[in-house]
Amino acid sequence: MMKAGPPTPYLVVDRDVLDRNLERMRSIAARHGVRLRPHMKTTKSVEIALAAHGGQAGSITVSTLREARHFADAGFRDILYAVTTTPAKVTEIAALGAATGAQITILAEDATVAAAVGAEAQSCGLRLPVLIDIDCGYGRSGLHPDDPHLPVLGRLIHDHPGLSLAGVMTHAGQAYDCRDADAVRRVARQEVSATVAAATLLRDIGLPVPTVSIGSTPTALLADDLSGITEIRPGNYQFLDLTQAAISVCGPGDIALRVVTEVLSHHPGGHALVDAGALALSKDTGADGHYGIVARIGDTPAPPGLFIAKVAQEQGYLRGPHGLDLTWLLPVGTRVEVLPNHACMTAAAHDFYHIRSDSHAPDIWRRVNGWH
Amino acid sequence: MMKAGPPTPYLVVDRDVLDRNLERMRSIAARHGVRLRPHMKTTKSVEIALAAHGGQAGSITVSTLREARHFADAGFRDILYAVTTTPAKVTEIAALGAATGAQITILAEDATVAAAVGAEAQSCGLRLPVLIDIDCGYGRSGLHPDDPHLPVLGRLIHDHPGLSLAGVMTHAGQAYDCRDADAVRRVARQEVSATVAAATLLRDIGLPVPTVSIGSTPTALLADDLSGITEIRPGNYQFLDLTQAAISVCGPGDIALRVVTEVLSHHPGGHALVDAGALALSKDTGADGHYGIVARIGDTPAPPGLFIAKVAQEQGYLRGPHGLDLTWLLPVGTRVEVLPNHACMTAAAHDFYHIRSDSHAPDIWRRVNGWH
């Protein structure tokens, strides 16, 4: 009735799949001749950041200053904080750099704000490297490459004694609205051309633009041509998930992350209740409204058609094809593994990864969550 | 341009509003003559659990064994673990009780599973108190009061040397599907009648049913008549949220929890980007698809119509009424307070509450997250 293992719910990472995903992206970066600066916002793990660089504390991207601190404490020295920095954050960034020796590169998209950030940096005795955020059509943040503010901002950053111009960057979040690989490739071309156009414009007015950085897992995996790009910042590629599978950038067998959960009961309504709910799985839904697909029952692959239909805070409603009696397939106490819709959100409520591998010893790796 | 305060994003709790919410529920319990066993799954804070009982470590409900351990370590001695217990969880429950002296009451809904749980409990030298989970129409878990398995389960628990029958319980989650207070009152009547019917049936076959427990914030706040009920287990009432306001059980002024976030930039698309996104706010949406309503700008009440329209992992898109120029109202660096749609989920990614009050000193209270 039961299977040994840690108390449920917990995350398991298939290290062999993870290693394959990491190696695939390293090859892509090498083939295009670009630097790989993985975004650690998905996995938030020092062990995975090291593995992403073949064991080195290489260049990384982070989404919070707590991540920056966590990785800096672990020896990472070149960290991009990929959320626009305001003056209020500069003291924390300065303290972080002073305590760890890490170089933190920041983003800017407005000249007035950048001037205030530069003044703060200067008063902390810093000269902060800055990437200008370019909007390549996603519409979240940044300047369009033809925005007349772009050269003004570039010049200000270059000339400010508290800042240095490191280059330009973009994020093609619209890749997640694609339905197939061809659409992703079109977004990748948009991403490259907008970023290269911005770099060219700045170079044309005599500014140095050493870094031309793009980043999203779908475009990094599928782009044909990265001419003019110097750096890629994919993050989700480390785990992948059902959202990536839905837009054809991977198959379900490439997903390294699973939620392990136990069957708690069977309800006359036809569902099995499991102990992974909205927190352990996240509220991100798949195309047909499910909260995850069952990939394994115990140690064996699950038959198709088992999914989490609904979630409460700590409980999931596991359903199968209409008419299937789950009480025989999934007795109470059975452990099942659920593939996540969105690995970034699913992993967020968990503190640890249980590492499984055919070629390495089992292990437990820590995640860093929160902000401060 | 900036306002002093902790680094954003963070949670602020208005202690005066919180105290009013706690006092209101204590009065309701006293008026109905029932025990208040607050569900701590929303706030997950020792300070709030104590305040809920007027300073005492009274009876509480929890949703995870990590919560149980956290509160037991803080001196709480009477804890209901309100998720069905399987045999795999008994060792952890036994260890927790042995280490802290806390009495953990568990749920059961199936005789075969309860017998296996009882055997585990017995082998740990325990006699675990059990509430039978009754389905009052929500359809998630538990037995309908007329299910023929109910008396069998009651008898088994009563007779098992590893278990003792503590009573019956239900959760009327369907209250959240209501559109108005009258509909909530109808659900409350269903909740009471199903639970009392189950208790009566068990008593009729000679079993003791000391506890008859119901629990949801909407029904606890609005129920007219709790005859036959001995205990209520509301949880969300401590903070409340926009979901509760939408079903008329509170007003926006009763919501004690806010997310404080900083304006990062303005986009030509018309939104201000803030540093609270899917993790800091949660992905729970309001009726019209928003991720939270702006209640304050700095220290002053916000004009109506400002809301979070979209979220990325660490960024929210703040929008106003069509045509409103946010750059003047919300300069970069401005801090705004966002009312949450679903306090349980919004608080989940945070480790601390910053406590604000007109009558108490500022403070920082810890939350307990995770499972193990």
pTM over 0.90: yes
Measured between alpha carbons, how far is B93 from A52 in angstroms, rounded to an integer? Answer: 39
Measured between alpha carbons, how far is A306 from A293 in angstroms, rounded to an integer? Answer: 6
**Confidence class for position B4, pLDDT limits 50, 70, 90:** low
B271's tokens: 């939104």
Measured between alpha carbons, how far is B38 from B215 in angstroms, rounded to an integer? Answer: 9
Measured between alpha carbons, how far is A226 from A248 in angstroms, rounded to an integer? Answer: 20
**Residue whose pair of structure tokens reads 């600066």 in the numeric block:** A37
Q: pLDDT per residue over B14-42, tens digit each?
A: 999 999 999 999 999 999 999 999 999 99
How confident is the model at residue B324, as a pLDDT?
A: 85
Measured between alpha carbons, how far is B40 from B60 in angstroms, rounded to an integer? Answer: 7
Q: CB distance B87–A275 less than 8 Å? A: no
How confident is the model at residue A60, as a pLDDT?
A: 98
Measured between alpha carbons, how far is A167 from A129 in angstroms, rounded to an integer? Answer: 9
Q: pLDDT per residue over B182-226, tens digit each?
A: 999 999 999 999 999 999 999 999 999 999 999 999 999 999 999
Measured between alpha carbons, how far is B208 from B192 in angstroms, rounded to an integer? Answer: 18
A281's tokens: 């799985």
How confident is the model at residue B2, as a pLDDT?
A: 43
Burial of residue A122 (CB within 10 Å: 0-12, 13-18, 19+) is: middle
Size of interface A-B (CB pairs under 8 A): 157
Q: Which of A83, A265, A275 sits opposite B109 (nearest CB)?
A: A265
* A1 contacts in chain B (CB < 8 Å): 87, 116
Give the number of other CB atoms < 10 A from CB of residue B20. Answer: 13
Q: Which residues contact A131 (CB under 8 A, 6 or more apart)?
A: A80, A105, A106, A107, A108, A166, A167, A168, A169, A211, A213
Q: Which residues contact A280 (CB under 8 A, 6 or more apart)?
A: A9, A259, A261, A314, A316, A346, A349, A350, B371
Q: Are A265 and A307 in contact (CB under 8 A)?
A: no
Does residue A289 sit at the B interface (CB-CB below 8 Å)?
A: no
Count of H-run helices and E-run strands, chain B? 12, 18
Q: Which of A266, A312, A348 sits opposite B173 (nearest CB)?
A: A312
Does residue B370 sit at the A interface (CB-CB below 8 Å)?
A: yes
Does residue B66 sit at the A interface (CB-CB below 8 Å)?
A: no
Give the number of other CB atoms < 10 A from CB of residue B123. Answer: 12
Residue A9, preceding bond cis, omega within 30 degrees?
yes
Give the number of other CB atoms < 10 A from CB of residue A364. Answer: 12
CA–CA–CA angle B296, B221, B108 (5° rounding):
115
CA–CA–CA angle B236, B241, B242 (5° rounding):
140
- How do beta strands B300-301 and B307-311 pair? unpaired
* B282 contacts in chain A (CB < 8 Å): 283
Rounded to an integer, the average pLDDT of B133-139 is 97
How confident is the model at residue B287, as a pLDDT?
A: 74
Residue of A nearest to B174 (CA): A312
How confident is the model at residue A240, as a pLDDT?
A: 98
State the helix-helix crossing angle for B181-204 and B149-159, rounded to 10 degrees.
60
Three-state DSSP state, B198 = helix
How confident is the model at residue A4, as a pLDDT?
A: 67
* A283 contacts in chain B (CB < 8 Å): 282-284, 345
A73's tokens: 């404490």
How confident is the model at residue A126, as a pLDDT?
A: 94
How confident is the model at residue B217, as a pLDDT?
A: 97
Q: Are B42 and B347 in contact (CB under 8 A)?
A: yes
Does residue B283 sit at the A interface (CB-CB below 8 Å)?
A: yes
A113's tokens: 């704000």
Measured between alpha carbons, how far is B234 from A31 in angstroms, rounded to an integer? Answer: 58
Residue A268, preceding bond cis, omega within 30 degrees?
no
Closest CA to A213 of A70, A39, A76, A31: A39
Measured between alpha carbons, how far is B352 from A300 in angstroms, rounded to an integer? Answer: 41
Residues of chain A with pLDDT under 70: 1-4
The full DSSP string for A130-195 is EEEEE-SS--SSSB-TT-THHHHHHHHHHH-TTEEEEEEEE--GGGGG-SSHHHHHHHHHHHHHHH
Measured between alpha carbons, how far is B179 from B176 in angstroms, rounded to an integer? Answer: 8
Which residues share a beta bridge with A143? A134
How confident is the model at residue B160, as a pLDDT?
A: 98
A305's tokens: 């058609």
Q: Are B52 and B29 in contact (CB under 8 A)?
A: no
Closest CA to A192 of A52, A39, A32: A32
Rounded to the nearest angstrom, the minimum Cα separation between B201 and chain A is: 20
How confident is the model at residue A1, as a pLDDT?
A: 38
How confident is the model at residue B55, as a pLDDT?
A: 97
Phi and psi at residue B268, to the nearest 5°: -55, -25
Measured between alpha carbons, how far is B168 from A178 in angstroms, rounded to an integer? Answer: 50
Provide the percentage of residues in chain B whose pLDDT is more than 90: 95
Q: pLDDT per residue over B317-371, tens digit each?
A: 999 998 788 999 999 999 999 999 999 999 999 999 999 999 999 999 999 999 9
Q: Residue B146: pLDDT above 60? A: yes
How confident is the model at residue B97, as a pLDDT?
A: 94
